[in-house]
A and B are shown apart, each in its own frame.
Chain A
């Protein structure tokens, strides 16, 4: 039976590989639902998933899954977890269905149940006749689906997905996200989606945890409500770009580079004093500021703030 209160609790979690700290004082409680674990490469996302799985030597009471302390009762806790790793996750020599059934048996399913479940979950993830082929002959998309089937076979309460769309083409990515969204939204499974692809998180998750250099920087809802009122002015141009960015920063405007654009994040209800009180005035002020800095804008566009903007502003070098 699925427990609506099967919570993952992380308490003052600090961990280092040899002398390199990877997680620092992470503290949070995650309730069932879809949660995105965001962060740049090396921010500690995979290590956090491994800590939840009880794979790291941790002191007692740092990670609890469904009430089980993973440093002492990892076996019981792991029955509640299904893990889809980014690397590996496939043991050559098995057919797809044999590997999935094997993982089911390793997770405590009786032999017959494991085989039946293997067929069910492989059907669910969209592997049909291919399930009898040796899994080392699978394409990248099929491998990802097989790994998801392996994570689901014992019907866990939580799915820990590490970069599930890695290496997939746009069609495969959309299909994978649809499966995950279905599991989280309609089947009642908790999902922790670790990725650096913001669009994946926006498609599936209700809230995000942002990690940077092992610290939990922010925890916020993905709903557009919280972002309402904030807008981005994207400016592309040439000339004195550095001076223009510095001038914006002096006005306390949040700025980040987005490809060839300079993105200035502004709350239109609370514009900085130097930019006037209305959007129209803010635009004029921005153009005047650009001219003063010898920066020649070629294009200026206004758009609502996205999760990507929030993420960039959180992980920019000076944040924390």
Chain B
């Protein structure tokens, strides 16, 4: 026997409760992303429209409808439709944040043989996928739902009589539902793309083509009067389908139900890809 030994010791449980594995993965994803100063800077920029809208709401409450006529458009209104317009205006930041947080999430794990490492631990596909989805969803909600909720509260506080319970309860609930569903759907689509590559830059390109390219094609279609081209507007379909939930006018010249069906199909395809691609061993019989 050695006189002194500081060697391997067995673990003595302390009785603390472990966090769910999906939460551990999500927490790690967030802390990893927010550690970068430029991510925080981008978040700050993404909140500028919300601050502008808040200022307009404030001035409007004090100066009446005159300002609304001057600024014009739904964007400044505090109705569900107005908030949908605001969310639509945030789509560039949605593209950026989801890309920064999610493009490399699975691609890097595939490149570094990380999937095998994860699946040598007591966790399943659902834990892994939920954790990774929450990372992207967190970024999405930070630039969409969070400002909407704060704006609702702000508008109610400066003029409680304006829309009352609708503004304090129903609009936030609708926004919560819309943002959660849209965010989760977009996150799954992005993660599916990420699972197809081992290089983050490739996923960034695909995501840009899908989001920005789709929007450009849609804009061209609108310009030349070809409504069929709007079907390529990937982000636009989520907002178009969301118009059903938010009680707003359709955002595209496409039936909202058709957009909803397309979004559902995209999620189903994404889940199928993720199920096929996320596995600890690359090629199995």
- Whether A109 and B18, one on each chain, are in contact in the complex, defined by CB atoms closer than 8 angstroms, is yes
Closest to A50 in B: B281
With a CB–CB cut-off of 8 A, which chain A residues contact B119?
Answer: 53, 55
Stretch with Cβ within 8 A of B (4 or more), from A82-90, A224-232, A266-274: A82-90
**Inter-chain contacts of A50 with B (CB < 8 A):** 116, 280-281
Q: How far is the CA of A152 from the CA of B21 in the complex (A)?
A: 18
Distance in angstroms between the alpha carbons of A55 and B28 in the assembled complex: 24
- Chain B contacts for A124, CB-based, 8 A: 7-8
Residues of A within 8 A of B25 (CB): 106
Q: Kindly name the residue among A109, A183, A187 whose own CB sees the greatest number of chain B CB atoms within 10 A.
A: A109
A81 CB to closest chain B CB, in angstroms? 7
Contact B24 A18 (CB under 8 A): no
Given contacts A55-B281, A187-B7, contact A105 B117 (CB under 8 A): no
- Say yes or no: B7 contacts A57, CB within 8 Å: no
Q: Say if the beta carbon of B37 comes within 8 Å of chain A.
A: no
| Complex: A121 Cα to B11 Cα, angstroms | 10
CB within 8 Å for A108 and B18 given contacts A78-B122, A79-B122, A88-B117: yes
Q: Are B117 and A55 in contact (CB under 8 A)?
A: no
- Residue interface bits B106-121, CB-to-A below 8 A is 1, else 0: 0011001110111111
Q: Which of A3-11, A110-118, A247-255 contacts B (4 or more CB under 8 A)?
A: A110-118
Interface residues of A in 10-29 (CB under 8 A from B): 15-19
B125 to chain A, nearest CB (A): 11
A117 touches B11 (CB 8 A): yes
Interface set, chain B 67-116, CB cutoff 8 A to A: 108-109, 112-114, 116
A49, closest chain B residue (CB) = B120
Q: Pick the residue among B7, B11, B112, B117 that contacts A155 (CB under 8 A).
A: B11
Residues of B within 8 A of A56 (CB): 281, 284
Residues in A whose Cβ lies below 8 Å from that of B4: none
Write the chain B residue with the least CB distance to A103.
B121
Report B145-159 residues with CB < 8 Å from chain A CB.
none
* Residue-wise interface mask of B (189-222) relative to A, using a CB-CB cutoff of 8 A (1 in contact, 0 not): 0000000000000000000000000000000000
Q: A118 CA to B121 CA in the complex, in Å?
A: 16
Interface hits, A84-104 → B, CB 8 Å: 85, 87-93, 102-103
Interface residues of B, Cβ cutoff 8 Å to A: 6-11, 13-14, 16-19, 21, 24-25, 28, 32, 108-109, 112-114, 116-124, 279-281, 283-285
Pick 26 A–B contacts, CB within 8 A, sort by A. A17-B283, A18-B285, A50-B280, A55-B119, A75-B122, A75-B123, A78-B121, A85-B117, A87-B113, A89-B117, A90-B112, A91-B108, A91-B109, A91-B112, A92-B108, A102-B24, A102-B28, A103-B121, A106-B24, A106-B123, A107-B121, A110-B16, A111-B16, A120-B9, A150-B117, A186-B7
Chain A positions within 8 Å of B, measured between CB atoms, are 2, 15-19, 50, 53, 55-57, 74-76, 78-79, 81, 83, 85, 87-93, 102-103, 105-113, 117, 120-121, 123-124, 150, 152, 154-155, 182-183, 186-187
